[in-house]
């Protein structure tokens, strides 16, 4: 698994994390997330005694008790009670992970704890803003997270994989977005000018409009996307660059998505979508989220099938096109960060 370790990985939507210890998996490591007096704590999900999962344990006054033979852990990972034994060996300690809640997600830092810096959490700040009406969901993949990242880094597939569900037409395959490198990610900008905006699940227009979409893909696999519909002529007025969102006539929407490698051939995909209150309501949010869920199942079917072929291929090689610029750039950034981690070890 060639993924960056010094990065924040999404393990849960913040409001779906139960009070009880919750099992999760990142980069093949079992992790339990729990709360000690309201504070988030993340442990390796493996009791030091006989390796039972601590996620089957229970919280007791800010501590976590393994419910196999009763070892009690305080939030720094140290065992503070072994029922029936006075002596507690110094090695009775589990690994802990930096964990935090931000932008509606729970994030776990998988690398050197000394380097955990919350400023490296990608800015999914639309989700903190009450001006946006947000919905969220998730699904699991039997495929490498890398393949899901690559799917989200090349939207030309939308014209084919989602031809029916999103009714996207050929725009995505025929328009090549601008691709801009960032320190830990890639930014795409795209105008579709002077065409009717008609998607099955969205409000259709028959008159031509200009549609702006900007999306960023951040390490380790966080997509942040913003889209808005403008009167015709706006793309030219802003010289095909970022417009003033206050001039949008409809469809001011925001999406944040996260791909977390759970194991070598497994990933968990979190996706959220929000519409600005001035342009939609809860019913619209629910309709769109349901449509996106159907569309993302189409990605899952294709990517898992791709994985099965890859697994049958002794030395897989690919043949990138102009649409792969973002994929190539992002994979290069990941490789450089990973090599840097390995040489600094």
Q: Which residue ranges make up the site for ligand FES (CB under 6 A)?
A: 47, 49-50, 52, 66, 68-71
Q: Which is nearer to ligand FES, 71 or 202 (CB)?
A: 71
180 backbone dihedrals φ, ψ, rounded to 5°: -125, 130
Exposed (0-12), middle (13-18) or buried (19+): which is 30, by Cβ within 10 Å? middle
CB of 71 to ligand FES, least distance (A): 4
Q: Is the CB of 72 or the CB of 148 nearer to ligand FES?
A: 72
Task: Return the percent helix, strand and coil in the chain, to nearest 5.
Answer: 30, 35, 35
Pick one of Fe ion, ligand FES, none as the site partner of residue 64 (Cβ within 5 to 8 A by kind): none
Are the beta carbons of 49 and 69 closer than 8 angstroms?
yes
What is the Cα 149 distance to its own chain's centre? 9
d(CA 305, CA 97): 34
- What DSSP letter does each residue of 246-282 carry, written as one string? GG--EEEEEEEEEEEEEETTEEEEEEEEEEETTT--H
Binding-site size for Fe ion (CB under 5 A) equals 1
Smallest gap from Cβ 27 to ligand FES, in A, equals 23
Minimum gap (Å) between residue 51 Cβ and ligand FES: 6
The one of Fe ion, ligand FES, none whose footprint includes residue 93, by CB under 5 to 8 A per kind, is none
Integer Cα distance of 47 and 167 in angstroms? 50
66 binds, among ligand FES, Fe ion, none (CB under 5 to 8 A by kind): ligand FES
d(CA 77, CA 69): 17
Q: How far is the CB of 162 from Fe ion (least distance, A)?
A: 6
Q: Considering the complex, what minimum distance in angstroms separates the CB of residue 291 from Fe ion?
A: 12
Residue closer to ligand FES by CB (options 66, 161) is 66
From CA 333, how far away is CA 219, in angstroms rounded? 8
The interface partner of residue 52, options being ligand FES, Fe ion, none and the CB cut-off 5 to 8 Å by kind, is: ligand FES
Which of 299, 323, 334, 337: binder of Fe ion (CB under 5 A)? 299
- Cβ-count burial 259-291 (b if 16+ within 10 Å, e if not): bbbbeebbbbbbbbbbbbeebbeeebbeebbeb
Partner from ligand FES, Fe ion, none contacting 68, C-beta within 5 to 8 A by type: ligand FES
> 65 or 268, CB closer to ligand FES?
65
Is residue 107 within 8 A of residue 10, CB to CB? The reply is: yes
299 binds, among ligand FES, Fe ion, none (CB under 5 to 8 A by kind): Fe ion
Residue 308 binds which entry of ligand FES, Fe ion, none, with Cβ cut-offs from 5 to 8 Å by kind? none
Cβ closest to ligand FES, residue 10 vs residue 48: 48
Question: Which residue lies nearer to ligand FES by CB, 42 or 223?
Answer: 42
DSSP 8-class letter at 77: S
Smallest gap from Cβ 28 to ligand FES, in A, equals: 21
User: To which H or E segment does residue 111 belong?
Assistant: none
Which of Fe ion, ligand FES, none binds 79 (CB below 5-8 Å, type-dependent)? none
CB of 186 to Fe ion, least distance (A): 17
Judged by beta carbon, residue 49 or residue 284, the one nearer ligand FES is 49
Q: Which is nearer to ligand FES, 52 or 193 (CB)?
A: 52
Dihedral, CA of residue 60, residue 65, residue 67 and residue 69, to nearest 10: -130
Q: How far is the CB of 40 from ligand FES (least distance, A)?
A: 22
Residues found near Fe ion in the complex (CB under 5 A): 299
């Amino acid at each position: 698994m060639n993924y960056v370790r010094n990065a924040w990985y999404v393990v849960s939507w913040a409001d779906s994390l139960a009070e009880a210890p919750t099992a999760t998996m990142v980069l093949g490591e079992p992790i339990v997330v729990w709360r000690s007096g309201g504070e988030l704590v993340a442990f390796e999900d493996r009791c030091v005694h006989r390796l039972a999962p601590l996620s089957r344990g229970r919280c007791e006054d800010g501590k976590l008790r393994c419910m196999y033979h009763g070892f009690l852990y305080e939030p720094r990972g140290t065992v503070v009670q072994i029922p029936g034994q006075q002596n507690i060996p110094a090695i009775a300690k589990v690994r802990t992970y930096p964990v935090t809640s931000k932008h509606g997600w729970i994030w776990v830092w998988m690398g050197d704890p000394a380097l955990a810096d919350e400023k490296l959490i990608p800015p999914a700040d639309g989700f903190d803003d009450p001006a946006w009406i947000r919905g969220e969901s998730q699904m699991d993949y039997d495929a490498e997270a890398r393949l899901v990242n690559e799917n989200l880094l090349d939207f030309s597939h939308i014209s084919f994989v989602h031809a029916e569900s999103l009714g996207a037409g050929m725009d995505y395959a025929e328009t090549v977005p601008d691709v801009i490198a960032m320190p830990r990610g890639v930014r795409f900008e795209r105008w579709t000018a002077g065409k009717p905006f008609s998607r099955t699940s969205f409000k259709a227009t028959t008159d031509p409009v200009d549609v702006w979409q900007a999306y960023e893909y951040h390490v380790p696999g966080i997509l942040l996307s913003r889209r808005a519909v403008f009167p015709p002529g706006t793309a030219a007025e802003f010289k095909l660059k970022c417009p003033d969102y206050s001039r949008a006539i409809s469809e001011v929407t925001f999406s944040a998505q996260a791909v977390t490698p759970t194991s070598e051939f497994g990933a968990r995909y979190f996706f959220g979508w929000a519409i600005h209150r001035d342009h939609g309501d809860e019913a619209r949010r629910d309709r769109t989220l349901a449509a996106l869920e159907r569309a993302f199942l189409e990605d899952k079917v294709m990517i898992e099938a791709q994985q099965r072929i890859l697994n049958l291929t002794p030395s897989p090689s690919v043949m990138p096109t102009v649409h792969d610029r973002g994929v190539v750039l992002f994979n290069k950034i990941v490789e450089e960060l990973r090599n840097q981690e390995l040489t600094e070890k």
